[in-house]
A and B are shown apart, each in its own frame.
Chain A
Amino acid sequence: MADKKTVLVTGAAGALASRVMNRLQAQCNVIAVDFRRKVETDAGIPSYRVDMHKRGFEDIFSTHQVDAVIHIGRIFPHESDRMRRYNANVLGTKRLLDLCKKYYVRQVLIHSTYFVYGASPYNPALLDEDTPLKASEITQDLVDSVELENLAQIHLWRHPELNITILRPCNVLGPGVRNSMSILLSRPLAPVLMGFSPLMQFLHVDDMAQAMVMALEQNKPGIYNVAPDDWVPYQEAVKQCGCRALPIPSIPPILPRAISNALNWRAFFPPYLINYFKYPVIIDGSLFRETFGWKPKRNLNDIFSLYRRAKKMAA
């Protein structure tokens, strides 16, 4: 077993990480880490519940010879306040990267998000990886996502031996996924902004997991958008997922934010993401597709029908 790579996966309790671990099990020694709970794993897979920005985290690196890290674990804005989130996401990642340097980890995969580009009315479509990240200009609640990216980018050029790959996926959906878009489309009633239906991109969580495994196997450091070559307006996606649209007045811009705050929609239609339901953030995923030879296996209809079916089952 000594010749097998040892891969540490953070956020192991999540839908994406568990799929990544399943795929890696045969070829690697996997270590599961999560700050929420100690994840149930198959025999032989060590599992830890640990906060990355706390001291106990280092013990994992000193007991295991970690070769690669897949960093998925993140606190979503709806799960915690800004301060705690900053500590966990930004300082936690900083600590993770420091430990990677100290213990000679040879490969790091960072799971970022397309949110970092920011939803601005001036966005052109098909954003390249070198587009400036403007999310923090729009809301303070996304500062931690942008900071995390910056941190990873600094390490990417300063420590080439870490072989950092940063992936910026579009909306990831699928069974068990608990990001705000997935929670939103699982609801019978989905808020939509009157007069705005921005184009969006969606990816099945299995395809995303496959993308991460390929990025790990091929080890081509850099920054990549991960998105399919397909686009659909938000309100069409709402309809296709079997949701009823709940129109929300969009003008003046303060109004939808106030409504979201008043009705406590933080989990699925949070005030700080309103702009993403107003203006498109379409990313160009061709660099990743061509570099790694990856192609999503599930199309938009496959993804939407999952949500449609789940609603029919519940009814």
Chain B
Amino acid sequence: MKQGGDRPPPGNGTMVKLGALNLKDKLLSRIVTPEIDELVAKMPKPVGSFGYDPWGYHENAAKVGLGIVKWLYEKYFRVTAHGLENVPKKGRVLIVPNHSGQLPMDGVLIGYAIATNPDGPRAPRAMIERFFPTVPWLGNVLNSFGAVIGDPLNCSKMLDGDEAIIVFPEGVRGSGKLYKDRYRLQRFGNGFMHLAMQHKTPIVPVGVVGCEETMPAIANIAPLARLLGIPYAPVAPPLPLPARVYLNFGEPMFFKDDKLSEDEVGERVETVKAEIRKLIDRGLQERTKIY
């Protein structure tokens, strides 16, 4: 004989599922506030029928990302940003900062600053290291926030789409440098200048101060990095330290599409580098406390 009491009441499974769903929803609603919803609505991107663009950007993911970074930006790194009015409200632009701090935290914070720019928010794209796509989960997550690998073809198609793109011409040379080399600009690649010239794109230089102190590295274990297939393996704090971060956006720089030798392009890159150095110095002067 069947006894109803022995069995769990019907629909229990769905109740548990609903509970889990509620928790997820609650967490999501804590992260994605109406304020962020409104912000993302202000910066639409052309996407396909499932909400993805060809590089993997997705609006909902970007909202979650912004929600999390909001806390990092305001509470943890207590960012001060100057000169955001220099970022054009629309049209193509290359944002070119110095790179530091082992993790690409500087890119994240600059991205947030541009996305929440009171002078006109934009959903920026960041050009990231080529090894990221090979990291499970992280690669897809970064793509969904709008980051793509730093390939000239990617950059060129995005500039044609009038996007704002963050490029770190120092690459891993900048982010992986040791604490003793802090605020010393490494060699800049020339690629960004070629793209700016070909696509008639203004360059907005940015000086980042503070990220060097988030992850001071005393050494780089190169053999370990090779073994793991990552660009560098720093001896550094396991998590970023809460240093105050100062972002100084400089005035847009324009370069004509002249026929130049590589050396002459290099000279133009030096002018951008010099501008970034000035902006870094401004940030260093402004800073009174490191942490």
What residues of chain A have their CB less than 8 Å away from a CB belonging to chain B? 121-128, 131, 193-197, 199, 229-233, 236, 250-251, 279-280, 282, 284, 299-301
Interchain CA distance A231-B154 in the complex, whole Å: 16
Among the 9-residue stretches B14-22, B136-144, B273-281, the one with 4 or more Cβ atoms under 8 Å from chain A is B136-144
Pairs A–B under 8 Å by Cβ, sample size 19: A121-B130, A121-B149, A122-B133, A123-B151, A124-B148, A125-B148, A125-B154, A131-B153, A194-B136, A195-B135, A195-B136, A195-B137, A196-B136, A197-B140, A231-B54, A232-B52, A233-B56, A251-B136, A299-B49
Chain B neighbourhood of A127, CB < 8 A? 153
Chain B neighbourhood of A122, CB < 8 A? 130, 133, 149, 151
Q: Which 10 A-B pairs have the closest CB atoms?
A: A195-B136, A230-B48, A124-B151, A124-B153, A121-B133, A195-B137, A124-B154, A125-B54, A232-B50, A125-B55
Chain A neighbourhood of B138, CB < 8 A? 195
- Give the residue of A124, A126, A232, A301 whose beta carbon is less than 8 angstroms from that of B149: A124
Chain A neighbourhood of B56, CB < 8 A? 125, 199, 231, 233, 280
Chain B neighbourhood of A279, CB < 8 A? 133
Contact A233 B48 (CB under 8 A): no
Chain A neighbourhood of B148, CB < 8 A? 124-125
Contact A233 B149 (CB under 8 A): no
Interchain CA distance A279-B130 in the complex, whole Å: 12
Chain A neighbourhood of B48, CB < 8 A? 229-232, 300
B53 interfacial by beta-carbon distance below 8 Å: yes
Contact B136 A250 (CB under 8 A): yes
B52 to chain A, nearest CB (A): 5
Contact B140 A195 (CB under 8 A): yes
Interchain CA distance A262-B149 in the complex, whole Å: 34
User: Known: A122-B130, A195-B140. Contact between A300 and B54, CB under 8 A?
Assistant: no
User: Known: A122-B130, A125-B148, A279-B133. Contact between A236 and B50, CB under 8 A?
Assistant: yes
Chain B neighbourhood of A197, CB < 8 A? 140
Chain A neighbourhood of B151, CB < 8 A? 122-124
Interchain CA distance A279-B152 in the complex, whole Å: 18
Interchain CA distance A194-B140 in the complex, whole Å: 11
Interchain CA distance A199-B55 in the complex, whole Å: 8
Number of A-B residue pairs at CB separation under 8 A: 76
Query: Of B54, B56, B134, B152, which is in contact with the most chain A CB atoms at under 10 Å from its CB?
Result: B54
User: Known: A125-B154, A199-B56, A233-B56. Contact between A301 and B49, CB under 8 A?
Assistant: yes
Interchain CA distance A233-B49 in the complex, whole Å: 12
Chain B neighbourhood of A230, CB < 8 A? 48-50
Chain A neighbourhood of B157, CB < 8 A? 124-126, 284
Interchain CA distance A123-B148 in the complex, whole Å: 10
Interchain CA distance A299-B49 in the complex, whole Å: 8
Interchain CA distance A96-B24 in the complex, whole Å: 59
Chain A neighbourhood of B136, CB < 8 A? 193-196, 250-251
Interface residues of B in 149-173 (CB under 8 A from A): 149, 151-154, 157
Interchain CA distance A236-B58 in the complex, whole Å: 13
Chain B neighbourhood of A229, CB < 8 A? 48
Contact B49 A196 (CB under 8 A): no
Closest to A282 in B: B54
- Give the residue of A124, A196, A231 whose beta carbon is less than 8 angstroms from that of B139: A196
Interchain CA distance A243-B253 in the complex, whole Å: 52
Interface residues of B in 35-80 (CB under 8 A from A): 48-50, 52-56
Contact B50 A300 (CB under 8 A): yes
Interchain CA distance A300-B52 in the complex, whole Å: 12
Interchain CA distance A93-B136 in the complex, whole Å: 40
Contact B133 A231 (CB under 8 A): no
12 additional A-B residue pairs with CB within 8 Å, beyond A195-B139, A231-B54: A122-B149, A125-B56, A128-B153, A131-B153, A193-B136, A195-B140, A196-B140, A229-B48, A233-B52, A282-B54, A299-B49, A300-B48
**B 116-137 binary contact with A (CB < 8 Å = 1; else 0):** 0000000000000011011111
User: Known: A121-B130, A121-B134, A279-B133. Contact between A231 and B53, CB under 8 A?
Assistant: yes
Closest to B131 in A: A121
Interchain CA distance A300-B49 in the complex, whole Å: 7
Interchain CA distance A251-B148 in the complex, whole Å: 22
Interface residues of B in 175-195 (CB under 8 A from A): none
Chain B neighbourhood of A236, CB < 8 A? 50
Contact B137 A231 (CB under 8 A): no
A119 to chain B, nearest CB (A): 10
Query: Of B49, B50, B53, which is in contact with the most chain A CB atoms at under 10 Å from its CB?
Result: B50
A286 to chain B, nearest CB (A): 10
Query: Of A127, A197, A251, which is in contact with the most chain B CB atoms at under 10 Å from its CB?
Result: A197
B127 to chain A, nearest CB (A): 11
Chain B neighbourhood of A232, CB < 8 A? 48-50, 52
Interchain CA distance A195-B132 in the complex, whole Å: 12
Chain B neighbourhood of A300, CB < 8 A? 48-50
Closest to B132 in A: A121
Chain B neighbourhood of A125, CB < 8 A? 54-56, 148, 154, 157
Chain A neighbourhood of B134, CB < 8 A? 121
Interchain CA distance A195-B139 in the complex, whole Å: 8
Chain A neighbourhood of B149, CB < 8 A? 121-122, 124
**B 188-222 binary contact with A (CB < 8 Å = 1; else 0):** 00000000000000000000000000000000000
B159 to chain A, nearest CB (A): 13
Chain A neighbourhood of B133, CB < 8 A? 121-122, 279
Interchain CA distance A124-B152 in the complex, whole Å: 8
